[in-house]
Amino acid sequence: MDNLGSPITTFVGFLRYRFKVMPHPESCMHKLKVSIDTEHVKCSICLNIWHDVVTVAPCLHNFCNGCFSEWLKRSQEKHSTVLCPHCRAVVHFVGRNHFLHGIEEDILEADSSLKRSDEETALLDSYASIKSNLVIQTGKNQHHKRPRAALVDENDDADFLCPQCGTELCGFRCNQNTVHLQCHACGGMMPSRTNNNVPQHCLGCDRAFCGAYWHAQRLSRSDFHVVCSHETFKPISERTISRIPFLAHETNRHEQDITERCIRQMGRTLQDVISDWIVKFNNREIDRTRMPLNHAEMVTASTHVCNQCYDKLVSFLLYWFRVTMPKYLLPPDAANREDCWYGYACRTQHHNEDHARKRNHVCRPTRGSNI
């Protein structure tokens, strides 16, 4: 019996976990080791260990992203509903499962014989179309909680998930097989249109955002659906900034203050500085190794990014602005500081105010694992 009084099942057919305390001198004091049968982490379509695992709902079965993307594509071409390949239940939702993705990576690291060839994983990645949570619309008549748009026929039995369900905008109208994306910012829905030139996912974080899509559809607001402003998701080159992001310089407010004073002393604005560094970034004059965005090598000035990823990019550029600045251009109190051995990776700066102020942390580490 465990502490809650529930019996621990030992019957055949049940998965059993064994937790062991594993000491690790460099990280946490306790680490759990979980034993898992690899048969339980296999995609039932290709019968291999998951690759970029996705979970479907409501049945909660798991598949490779590429495998299920192809299944989804073929199902929508032939049927009004999408069935789970494992149990044949109707699928209403599919999304990437980051928790199981971590387990997938740990298993492949522990047993390299289970890894697929680079060619096979590249092929799967080319099939993968699920970048964020998808709501899969079916032909069934479901209960409507929101009022219907005035332009929609009252006899239409479609599910009105988004402004284009039941109403044609810019030559497009959703049908019963249309897959929908949920916007990460507003929670509203938009049709997933892979053949459209308007980006629907932020390249920096792979999450879905609807601002650019509805702007392209000439829809700025809706009386019946939540939609984002164009300002929430637009190209890097079209953005402006007037404040140093909270994330800049690893959230060290002393370093942020020094950067702000440097910009003022130069008689410039933050926008001027960032505009210059975006040009350098676009010309590939900056090492992108530490850039905290997904697909770092693919990002350009014309790339659409969300507000959060733009703040991360600005913080990254401000690091390079500072680290390349000659000392004589720094304020006197900042120029006289010694570099912290651990540089930007220093953990002490987050809980020791005196250390955060007295040492320069906008520099490369000379000690530790981040050298």
Confidence band (pLDDT; 50, 70, 90) for 251? very high
Q: How many angstroms separate the CA atoms of 189 and 306, rounded? A: 17
- The structure tokens 């916007």 sit at 183
pLDDT number for residue 201:
96
Number of domains in the chain: 2
Residue 293 has pLDDT above 60, yes or no: yes
Give the residue numbers spanning the domain of 107: 20-130
Which of 105, 130, 155 is the last residue in one of the domains? Answer: 130
Any idea what the CATH number is for the domain that residue 41 is in?
A: 3.30.40.10
Which of 130, 155, 187 is the last residue in one of the domains? Answer: 130
Is position 237 within any domain?
no
Residue count of the chain, please give it: 371
Residue 367 has pLDDT above 50, yes or no: yes
Decide: 74 and 85 in contact? Cβ < 8 Å: no
Q: How many CB atoms neighbour CB 258 within 10 A?
A: 22
Residue 359 has pLDDT above 70, yes or no: yes
Mean pLDDT of the chain: 84
For 109-143, the pLDDT digits (tens) are 888 888 888 888 898 999 999 988 888 866 543 33
Is position 321 within any domain?
yes
Residue 304 has pLDDT above 80, yes or no: yes
* Greater model confidence, 316 or 188: 316
Strands 338-339 and 93-96: unpaired
SS3 sequence of 92-143: CEEEECHHHHHHHHHHHHHCHHHCCCHHHHHHHHHHCCCCCCEEECCCCCCC
Is position 82 within any domain?
yes
How far CA 365 is from CA of 171, 307, 324, in Å, comes to 55, 29, 15
Confidence band (pLDDT; 50, 70, 90) for 166? confident
322, 360, 324: which is closest to 339 by C-alpha?
360
pTM of the model: 0.62
Q: To the nearest 10°, the Cα dihedral for 252, 253, 255, 257?
A: 170
Structural tokens at position 362: 């906008």
* Greater model confidence, 353 or 1: 353
Residue 155 has pLDDT above 90, yes or no: no
Is position 188 within any domain?
no
Confidence band (pLDDT; 50, 70, 90) for 148? very low
Is position 310 within any domain?
yes
Which of 80, 95, 130 is the last residue in one of the domains? Answer: 130
The mean pLDDT value for 162-188 works out to: 89
The mean pLDDT value for 85-99 works out to: 86
- The structure tokens 């479901």 sit at 142
Residue 343 has pLDDT above 50, yes or no: yes
Residue 152 has pLDDT above 50, yes or no: no
Q: How many angstroms separate the CA atoms of 23 and 32, rounded? A: 9
Is position 136 within any domain?
no
For 19-36, the pLDDT digits (tens) are 666 555 554 545 566 667
Is position 91 within any domain?
yes
Is position 295 within any domain?
yes
For 5-16, the pLDDT digits (tens) are 555 555 555 556
